[in-house]
Chains A and B, each alone.
Chain A
């Protein structure tokens, strides 16, 4: 019998037992549904992560630290440990070694890095918007030009360009606060306004000479108070833009941002004389010219500076996605495993039911191998049907639910969690057909071995 005729006859046999065929294939369909959804979710998450990283981070960017615990979150440290004057303790109670000015200078001298910028963690006393005397406090950081920012008002320089020394950028939410505090009328009004930051130089141990001078001055009380209270300094900036948090903006900073040179001056001013003076948790840099970030990362590791590239961040996100996808796919595989027994059972019954038909076909000269093929193709049809039903329903339901999911998870318009692609689904269906054929092997063999004389014996 020709392959085409066998496939046709196999399909016809299944049509004659519609309910049974459908029920058997539903078992596979459950597996196919789960696997299709996991494929789509994996693809969707990866594309989303890619978009997130690709559109936000300069691919040449490196994030350099002194202590690899910075990335791992740190193993919990307890017990008696070496004292490190350059370490700071983060909120989780983990001591992280910091980069010193020497480290920064060393990194700046490297030919494979450009744009080496320490990360300033700056604390201000308060800030005041011109025309109002209300004081606010906020975190201040330097403007990161390796990350794409989006503005809701005003204008931002393109990726890779810094803002001016007298310019200041703040998140839209800050402006909203100012509106609700009646400092300004509309959030857009803040653009072009002057903002003054007040920073404090920490109080220092006065020298003997200073104490003596203070005591001998006309007003000793005021002089001593001035010595121990520390000095404040005001710096003014003009607001140039408001940044908005978009769903694909991975590294949105909730801080007032100023140019790096300004941030450095203020940081030095506020930390002078403290243990944090000229110590930085991290440094950002770009791999220079045609240097690949991965190569630079390896060279930095040699020199004792752990670092992360944009690619690492991507891999980190992908690892999470892959694990989640694996879990969902695992359930799909279990469902498939169960469906295999369904197919074996159904096909065995089918062989028993059609004993006479098999006997007749053999009497008419159908080779055993073709009889086996007939039943294997029937199994393949069941697999095909199950695959098409399962992935079809998954595709339909997923596409219908995508807007809802996007909305609930606030992924941002244009992003979908479930992305269905034809090729993986086709491959999935082919694999399901193969699994079904394997499941149909034993029943098919039983059919092939059937004795035609026995089969045609009439009672």
Chain B
């Protein structure tokens, strides 16, 4: 359960104040998939940064499983991010010079996972995104879709409770984008991981359980997907679930 309580964030000083978030409050149940929608500059990215503890809003609380992460010390927030959260970015941010294995191993190293446990986890994550034949390939030799799959492997390797995806399909063509979406939702359903997608793509947002629209730092609307839409969504899930069977 993630509770966002009256979070406000401003940039600049006195005469030049820019309000990025203005008294934002909402709740996300565990295991849900959320789309945070908004145009660029609406404050959706700031909201994601605040929820992940990367940014510190001046006001409000972000309570994750009963603990206000804004009150934690930096070290504790770092630990929290290393063990409970993960990120997927629009421009992948995979380390081009490193092998797929080393890319995926990074979060485990940061979380101080013992070396003997790492290998199995890395291989499992790479298999989940069907990159298990590219273990030793350098990330620079991968296609865009493969890079984002690698980023997903990196994001899920530590089995996070919360997965943030910032425009995960923004740099991909529609077919590849769909594969990535399917992977994310499948993971969300299978492991009950809370999936928070920041996007301006309505089609992607419609596939989520909850849509939160942000405009000028305020919540414009919060909608839940109708059952009929849910059905469509389940249909869309056929592929990734089949994919999961392959994992098993």
Contacts and interface: CB of A to CB of B under 8 A. Distances in A.
Interface of A: 1-2, 5, 9, 12, 16, 356-357, 359-368, 370, 452-453, 456, 458
Contacts of B78: 365-367
Contacts of A453: 49, 54-55
A12 B75 CA distance: 26
Interface of B: 49, 52, 54-55, 74-75, 78-83, 85-87, 89-91, 93, 95, 97-98, 102, 106-107, 109-112
A2 B109 contact: yes
Contacts of B112: 1-2
A365 B82 contact: yes
Given A2-B112, A12-B98, A453-B55, A361 B89 contact: no
B122 to A, nearest CB: 13
Given A365-B110, A366-B82, 16 more contacts: A1-B109, A1-B110, A12-B98, A356-B93, A357-B95, A359-B93, A360-B93, A361-B110, A362-B54, A364-B86, A364-B87, A364-B110, A365-B80, A365-B81, A367-B75, A368-B74
A456 B102 CA distance: 20
7 contacts: A1-B112, A360-B93, A364-B110, A365-B78, A365-B83, A365-B111, A458-B89
A366 B107 CA distance: 9
B90 A364 contact: no
Given A458-B90, A458-B91, A364 B54 contact: no
A363 B90 contact: no
Nearest to B97: A16
Q: Is chain A's interface secondary structure helix, strand, loop, or mixed overall? A: helix
Contact of B106 (A2, A16, A364): A364
B110 A363 contact: no
B106 to A, nearest CB: 7
Contacts of A359: 93
A452 B110 contact: no
5 tightest Cβ-Cβ pairs between the two chains A and B: A365-B82, A365-B81, A5-B109, A16-B97, A366-B110
Contacts of B98: 12
B244 to A, nearest CB: 25
Contacts of B102: 12
Contacts of A16: 97
A361 B106 contact: yes
Contacts of A2: 109, 112
Contacts of B87: 363-364
Contacts of A458: 89-91
Contacts of B107: 364-365
A363 B54 contact: yes
A350 to B, nearest CB: 13
B213 to A, nearest CB: 22
A363 B97 contact: no
Contact of A364 (B49, B75, B81): B81
A367 B78 CA distance: 6
A419 B199 CA distance: 69
A9 B97 CA distance: 12
Contacts of A361: 106, 110
Tell me which of B55, B81, B91, B109 has the highest count of chain A C-beta atoms within 10 A of its own C-beta: B109
A12 B98 CA distance: 8
Contact of B82 (A9, A360, A364): A364
A370 B80 CA distance: 16
A233 to B, nearest CB: 95
A456 B46 CA distance: 12
